[in-house]
């Protein structure tokens, strides 16, 4: 929210956090009657600004495997939930790290 509004100071983040906390404390009962689709749309609008599509394009131009490390856990989280997404993040990072180390070792003839 703050970044989209153009704020740069820590005070703006503190004010924003205070407003969110007050909203959660005093207005949570009003959110009970909103359909889940409306709540998910609010969350989606807040999260879309966190995704940096330029970074994915840069990763793709640098190395074709790096976007897989980013996108595999992303889609696993969307499809299966946060717990599975976190497991996939760990496993994907570990597998690609080991593959990268294996490729470096074979290129240098140290395997």
| CB neighbourhood size of 24 (10 A) | 10
Joined tokens for residue 52: 């940096």
- Residues 88, 3: Cα–Cα separation, whole Å: 29
Joined tokens for residue 4: 């989209």
Which comes out higher in pLDDT, residue 86 or 48?
86
Q: What is the pLDDT of residue 3?
A: 62
Q: Is the pLDDT of residue 72 over 70?
A: yes
Residue with the two structure tokens 């807040």 = 46
Specify burial of residue 77 (Cβ count, 10 A radius: 0-12, 13-18, 19+): middle
Q: What is the pLDDT of residue 106?
A: 61
Q: What is the pLDDT of residue 107?
A: 61
Query: What 3 state SS string does 5-53 have?
Result: HCCCCHHHHHHHHHHHHHHHHHHHHHHCCCCHHHHHHHHHHHHHCCCCH
Q: What is the pLDDT of residue 86?
A: 93
Q: What is the pTM of this model?
A: 0.53
Arithmetic mean of pLDDT, 55-59: 81
pLDDT band for 74, please (50, 70, 90 cuts): confident
- Residues 45, 31: Cα–Cα separation, whole Å: 17
């Amino acid at each position: 929210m703050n970044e989209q509004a153009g704020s740069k100071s820590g005070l703006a983040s503190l004010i924003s956090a205070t407003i969110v906390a007050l909203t959660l404390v005093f207005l949570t009962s009003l959110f009970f009657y909103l359909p889940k689709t409306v709540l998910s749309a609010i969350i989606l609008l807040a999260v879309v600004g966190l995704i940096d599509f330029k970074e994915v394009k840069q990763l793709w131009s640098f190395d074709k495997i790096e976007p897989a490390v980013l996108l595999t856990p992303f889609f696993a989280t969307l499809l299966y939930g946060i717990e599975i997404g976190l497991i996939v993040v760990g496993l994907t990072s570990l597998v690609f790290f080991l593959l990268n180390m294996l490729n470096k070792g074979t290129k240098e003839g140290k395997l």
